[in-house]
Amino acid sequence: MSSQPILDGYKIIDFTQYLAGPTATRLMAEMGAEIIKVEMSPYGDPSRSFPYRSKEKRSAYFVQQNRGKKSLCIDIKNEQSKQVLADLIKECDVLIENFAPGVIGRIGFSWEEVHKLNPKLVMCSISAFGQTGPLSHLPGFDYIAQAYAGVTSVIGEPDSPPSLPMLGIGDVTTGVHAAGALSFALLDAHRTGVGQHLDISLLDCYFHQHEVNVQAYSASKGKIVPRRNGSHHYAVAPTGIFQGPQGYIMILALLHQWPVLCKAMGREDLTDDPLFGTNEARLENLKQLIVVIEGWLQRFATDEDAIAALQAVRVPVAPVLTVPQAIDHPHHRARGTVRTVKDRLLGEFDMPGMPLKFSNHPDLLPLEAPFLGEQNREILSEWLSYSDDQISALEDAGILTSKPH
């Protein structure tokens, strides 16, 4: 095992805010990269105001996404600031930003300008719709890209309006895609000595997740139309959420597992039943199928007993846990899926853990989220050799800002 973090020595200048971009740099910070989080003076990343907030106005949302980063809070529109940022860019391996397309260029750091400053640097631009295309000029967030990607249309009950998932699937997925693309681009830069510009969009990442919908509609020439189907999948049965004796149970019995499920229920006759013998028949008679499966589930005293019976024959099954139940699940605790962290103002709280596991780097780094502008002096003195007087002059001019939260 190596004592040196996997990204030790890599320097990233991070102009991102909210969620997608910070997710990418959060993963890189966990792997040991040095992250300078550039925050716009005077308020910094808007997510500093997101809930939950302590009485000191410290945001757990911000802490979760920004542990291990150094905060430089600076007036990026000031000409002196632009020189500071240009000097930092010369020292970095990566620049990542998630402004609307064109904004970073108007600040003075388009890909062309950045490439001149540092030919080896990899630049990553994250946006809702990408840097090109008819929608590229529009503002957007996770749910907006989700709607354009055809994803929202397939979530919810068939006779009701589409529903929203209560978590940032698109933002987080896009951040992970960006982190992956940056890793590949850094490898390429190491081999060639030349950086490149990455264009990562929420829309592209969302659309990439259509494992069935797009190809099924296209290859069937429109005979298969993806649609909302509530608690059950429209293309594979039984795949969905069933009422157990106490709560809800997710069962996913793919084609070869259907006979196994029938045997577990003591209903091997269903494998040859014209109503249920094929996937197509089960979909056509889904309501009757649900009655059969839920009737069997109700014979058990508890959800745990029903789940154990299916797990014993290796039919994929799970309880539909609430968030509090998921936080306390022993498997999640054992793997570090849930991680308890300690913050200077928030104290101890739980957050999602590091999802990437490396055999040579099993230990988690002791990371801490920065206060606003907390590392202003450290960054300018250690990275750029600014004197105390030079830094004080920037503070007096209002170019640098710092606050204790």
CB 405, CB 345: distance < 8 Å: yes
Give the 3-state DSSP-derived string for the chain, with helices as H, strands as E and coil as C: CCCCCCCCCCEEEECCCCCHHHHHHHHHHHCCCEEEEEEECCCCCHHHHCCCECCCCCEHHHHHHHCCEEEEEECCCCHHHHHHHHHHHCCCCEEEECCCCCHHHHHCCCHHHHHHHCCCCEEEEEECCCCCCCCCCCCCCHHHHHHHCCCHHHCCCCCCCCCCCCCCHHHHHHHHHHHHHHHHHHHHHHHHCCCCEEEEEHHHHHHCCCCCHHHHHHHCCCCCCCCCCCCECCCCCCEEEEECCCCEEEEECCHHHHHHHHHHCCCHHHHCCCCCCCHHHHHHCHHHHHHHHHHHHCCCCCHHHHHHHHHHCCCCEEECCCHHHHHHCHHHHHHCCEEEEEECCCEEEEEECCCCCCCCCCCCCCCCCCCECCCHHHHHHHHHCCCHHHHHHHHHCCCECCECC
The full set of domains in the chain, from first to last, is 11-208+332-396 (3.40.50.10540), 239-243+248-319 (3.30.1540.10)
Q: What is the pLDDT of residue 1?
A: 65
233 is catalytic: yes
For the chain, which ranges sit under pLDDT 50? none
Residue 401: which of 368, 369, 377 has the closest Cα? 377
Q: 30-60 burial, b for 16+ CB within 10 Å, e for fewer? A: bbbbbbbbbbbbeebbebbebeebeeeebbb
Place of tokens 């081999």: 191
Catalytic residue chosen out of the listed positions 233, 256, 331, 405: 233
Retrieve residue 361's tokens: 């780097």
Retrieve residue 111's tokens: 């890909």
Per-residue pLDDT reduced to its tens digit, 368-390: 999 999 999 999 999 999 999 99
Sign of the CA dihedral running 350, 352, 357, 358: negative
